[in-house]
Amino acid sequence: MAVIFKEHKQIPREQLKALYEDAEWYAYTKDMDQLEQALSCSLYVLSAWEKDKLVGLIRVVGDGLTIVYIQDILVLASQQNNGIASDLMHQTLYKFSGVRQKVLLTEEAPNVRHFYEKNGFRSCDVGTLVAFAKMD
């Protein structure tokens, strides 16, 4: 079945909640009003749909000129390894191809590292980059 991509920030609450909970990102879904507001205030949101079902999403924050930060990229577990995350990433990187700094922060896992490295990202534990994060 074909996946359709849509650039929009208003996604039905139940679909949004189902996607984030499928990824076990419960910190986001404990306050759905806040999650919906976060999408609304994001620089860019690209979603992936199979018929009327939300199957993936990428969310970008930043100024869109000098820096973009990939805040979220999620695909339903049942739809992973079908190229949806790669399509979301490629379309987003193309849209912001003129932006010098493209940043993301994620948990360490071999498959996660491989995905980001194949999309041109370098880990800050290699080379001259340093990354700092404060998580409250």
pLDDT at 102: 87
Number of H helices, E strands in the chain: 5, 5
Residue 85 lies in a domain: yes
pTM of the model: 0.85
- Count: domains in the chain: 1
Kind of pairing, strands 67-75 and 101-104?
parallel
The predicted-structure confidence for 92-133, as pLDDT tens digits, reads as follows: 999 999 999 888 876 766 667 677 677 676 776 766 767 766
Write down the mean pLDDT value for the chain.
Answer: 89
> Which structural domain range is residue 33 located in?
4-118
Query: Is 123 contained in some domain?
Result: no
pLDDT of amino acid 105: 74
Mean pLDDT value of segment 8-21: 96
- Scored b (16 or more CB within 10 A) or e, 96-134 reads beebeebeeeeeeeeeeeebbeebebeeeeeeeeeeeee
What CATH number does the domain containing 51 carry?
Answer: 3.40.630.30
Rounded to whole angstroms, the Cα distance separating 86 from 92 reads 10
96, 131 in Cβ contact below 8 A?
A: no
What does the pLDDT read at residue 122?
Answer: 75
Residue 51, domain member (yes or no): yes
pLDDT of residue 66: 93
Percentage, residues of the chain above pLDDT 90? 71
Q: Let me know if residue 72 belongs to a domain.
A: yes
The answer to whether position 128 is within a domain reads no
What gap in Å lies between CA 29 and CA 25, rounded to an integer?
7
Q: Look at residue 32 and tell me if it is in a domain.
A: yes
**136 inside domain:** no
In a domain? residue 131: no
